[in-house]
Protein backbone atom coordinates (compact mmCIF):
# COMPACT_ATOMS: atom_id res chain seq x y z
CA UNK A 1 0.00 0.00 0.00
CA UNK A 2 1.41 3.35 -1.01
CA UNK A 3 1.06 6.48 1.08
CA UNK A 4 1.91 10.08 0.47
CA UNK A 5 5.13 10.62 2.39
CA UNK A 6 6.14 14.24 2.65
CA UNK A 7 9.88 14.10 3.10
CA UNK A 8 12.95 15.58 1.41
CA UNK A 9 13.49 12.23 -0.28
CA UNK A 10 10.42 12.74 -2.51
CA UNK A 11 11.06 14.12 -5.95
CA UNK A 12 9.73 17.65 -6.17
CA UNK A 13 6.34 17.68 -7.81
CA UNK A 14 6.17 13.90 -8.09
CA UNK A 15 2.84 12.15 -8.37
CA UNK A 16 2.45 9.75 -5.46
CA UNK A 17 -0.16 7.06 -4.96
CA UNK A 18 -2.35 7.70 -1.90
CA UNK A 19 -4.61 4.71 -1.40
CA UNK A 20 -6.50 4.49 -4.66
CA UNK A 21 -6.15 8.17 -5.64
CA UNK A 22 -3.15 9.95 -7.05
CA UNK A 23 -2.03 13.12 -5.33
CA UNK A 24 0.62 15.54 -6.49
CA UNK A 25 3.35 16.01 -3.90
CA UNK A 26 3.95 19.74 -3.81
CA UNK A 27 5.55 19.91 -0.36
CA UNK A 28 9.03 20.69 -1.67
CA UNK A 29 8.13 22.73 -4.74
CA UNK A 30 6.45 25.67 -3.05
CA UNK A 31 3.51 25.39 -5.44
CA UNK A 32 1.11 23.92 -2.89
CA UNK A 33 -2.15 25.79 -3.19
CA UNK A 34 -4.07 26.98 -0.18
CA UNK A 35 -7.03 24.83 -1.28
CA UNK A 36 -4.98 21.65 -0.86
CA UNK A 37 -4.21 22.71 2.69
CA UNK A 38 -7.88 23.38 3.40
CA UNK A 39 -8.87 19.98 2.04
CA UNK A 40 -6.46 18.35 4.48
CA UNK A 41 -7.49 20.48 7.49
CA UNK A 42 -11.29 20.54 7.15
CA UNK A 43 -11.87 16.80 7.64
CA UNK A 44 -9.80 16.97 10.82
CA UNK A 45 -11.66 19.96 12.21
CA UNK A 46 -15.16 18.71 11.40
CA UNK A 47 -14.33 15.13 12.29
CA UNK A 48 -12.72 15.94 15.62
CA UNK A 49 -15.66 18.05 16.81
CA UNK A 50 -18.20 15.44 15.76
CA UNK A 51 -16.04 12.74 17.33
CA UNK A 52 -15.97 14.55 20.67
CA UNK A 53 -19.73 15.12 20.64
CA UNK A 54 -20.36 11.54 19.54
CA UNK A 55 -18.09 10.20 22.28
CA UNK A 56 -20.02 12.15 24.89
CA UNK A 57 -23.36 10.93 23.52
CA UNK A 58 -22.27 7.28 23.53
CA UNK A 59 -20.03 6.95 26.57
CA UNK A 60 -20.87 9.90 28.84
CA UNK A 61 -24.65 9.97 28.50
CA UNK A 62 -25.43 10.81 32.12
CA UNK A 63 -22.81 13.56 32.31
CA UNK A 64 -24.18 15.02 29.05
CA UNK A 65 -27.70 15.00 30.51
CA UNK A 66 -26.48 17.02 33.47
CA UNK A 67 -24.89 19.63 31.20
CA UNK A 68 -27.28 19.86 28.24
CA UNK A 69 -31.00 20.47 28.61
CA UNK A 70 -31.84 18.88 25.26
CA UNK A 71 -30.15 15.61 26.26
CA UNK A 72 -32.47 15.22 29.27
CA UNK A 73 -35.46 14.91 26.96
CA UNK A 74 -33.91 12.24 24.71
CA UNK A 75 -33.84 8.54 25.43
CA UNK A 76 -30.53 6.83 26.06
CA UNK A 77 -30.94 4.77 22.90
CA UNK A 78 -31.54 7.87 20.79
CA UNK A 79 -28.47 9.60 22.21
CA UNK A 80 -26.29 6.55 21.64
CA UNK A 81 -27.60 6.06 18.10
CA UNK A 82 -26.83 9.68 17.18
CA UNK A 83 -23.46 9.48 18.93
CA UNK A 84 -22.52 6.30 17.08
CA UNK A 85 -23.32 8.00 13.78
CA UNK A 86 -21.14 10.94 14.70
CA UNK A 87 -18.28 8.70 15.83
CA UNK A 88 -18.39 6.69 12.59
CA UNK A 89 -18.56 9.89 10.55
CA UNK A 90 -15.61 11.32 12.45
CA UNK A 91 -13.58 8.17 11.88
CA UNK A 92 -14.50 8.26 8.19
CA UNK A 93 -13.36 11.86 7.91
CA UNK A 94 -10.12 11.63 9.87
CA UNK A 95 -8.57 8.19 9.42
CA UNK A 96 -8.52 7.47 5.65
CA UNK A 97 -6.38 10.32 4.34
CA UNK A 98 -3.40 10.17 6.72
CA UNK A 99 -3.30 6.37 6.68
CA UNK A 100 -3.80 6.09 2.93
CA UNK A 101 -6.22 3.23 3.48
CA UNK A 102 -9.46 3.58 1.54
CA UNK A 103 -9.60 7.37 1.06
CA UNK A 104 -12.95 7.30 -0.74
CA UNK A 105 -15.07 7.18 2.48
CA UNK A 106 -14.03 10.76 3.30
CA UNK A 107 -16.68 12.45 1.11
CA UNK A 108 -19.27 9.86 2.14
CA UNK A 109 -18.57 10.57 5.81
CA UNK A 110 -18.79 14.27 5.00
CA UNK A 111 -22.23 13.74 3.48
CA UNK A 112 -23.36 11.84 6.57
CA UNK A 113 -22.10 14.53 8.92
CA UNK A 114 -23.64 17.19 6.69
CA UNK A 115 -27.01 15.45 7.12
CA UNK A 116 -26.66 15.31 10.90
CA UNK A 117 -26.23 19.09 11.27
CA UNK A 118 -29.58 20.24 9.77
CA UNK A 119 -31.33 17.44 11.66
CA UNK A 120 -29.85 18.64 14.94
CA UNK A 121 -30.71 22.24 14.09
CA UNK A 122 -34.32 21.47 13.20
CA UNK A 123 -35.11 18.81 15.80
CA UNK A 124 -33.03 19.86 18.81
CA UNK A 125 -31.72 23.42 18.87
CA UNK A 126 -34.59 25.42 17.36
CA UNK A 127 -37.37 23.62 19.31
CA UNK A 128 -35.41 24.12 22.56
CA UNK A 129 -34.62 27.74 21.64
CA UNK A 130 -30.88 27.11 21.85
CA UNK A 131 -29.98 29.73 19.28
CA UNK A 132 -26.40 30.10 20.52
CA UNK A 133 -25.61 26.62 19.18
CA UNK A 134 -26.79 27.39 15.63
CA UNK A 135 -23.62 29.12 14.36
CA UNK A 136 -21.48 26.14 15.32
CA UNK A 137 -23.86 23.76 13.56
CA UNK A 138 -23.83 25.93 10.45
CA UNK A 139 -20.01 26.07 10.45
CA UNK A 140 -19.80 22.28 10.83
CA UNK A 141 -22.33 21.90 8.01
CA UNK A 142 -20.26 24.14 5.75
CA UNK A 143 -17.02 22.32 6.62
CA UNK A 144 -18.62 18.97 5.85
CA UNK A 145 -19.98 20.21 2.52
CA UNK A 146 -16.60 21.72 1.68
CA UNK A 147 -14.97 18.34 2.28
CA UNK A 148 -17.59 16.60 0.12
CA UNK A 149 -17.06 19.04 -2.73
CA UNK A 150 -13.29 18.98 -2.49
CA UNK A 151 -12.81 15.24 -2.02
CA UNK A 152 -15.48 13.94 -4.40
CA UNK A 153 -12.70 13.06 -6.85
CA UNK A 154 -11.55 10.33 -4.42
CA UNK A 155 -14.77 8.43 -5.10
CA UNK A 156 -14.46 8.87 -8.86
CA UNK A 157 -10.81 7.82 -8.96
CA UNK A 158 -11.50 4.79 -6.75
CA UNK A 159 -13.97 3.42 -9.25
CA UNK A 160 -11.71 4.14 -12.21
CA UNK A 161 -9.00 1.92 -10.71
CA UNK A 162 -11.26 -1.15 -10.37
Predicted confidence band of residue 8 (pLDDT cuts 50, 70, 90): very low
122: which residues sit within 8 A by CB, 6+ positions away?
Answer: none
Q: Tell me the whole-structure pTM to 2 decimals.
A: 0.72
Quote the pLDDT of residue 35: 63
Quote the pLDDT of residue 38: 65
Quote the pLDDT of residue 135: 95
Does the pLDDT of residue 140 top 70, yes or no? yes
**Mean of the per-residue pLDDT values of the chain:** 79
Q: Are the CB atoms for 29 and 144 separated by under 8 Å?
A: no
Does the pLDDT of residue 162 top 80, yes or no? no
Alpha-carbon torsion, ordered 139, 102, 78, 121, to 10 deg: 20
Does the pLDDT of residue 2 top 70, yes or no? no
Amino acid sequence: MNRLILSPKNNAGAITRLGSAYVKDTANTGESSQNERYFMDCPGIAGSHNGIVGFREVFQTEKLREQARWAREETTGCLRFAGTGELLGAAGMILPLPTGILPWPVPLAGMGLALIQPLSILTVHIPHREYKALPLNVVLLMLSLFVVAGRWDLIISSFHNL
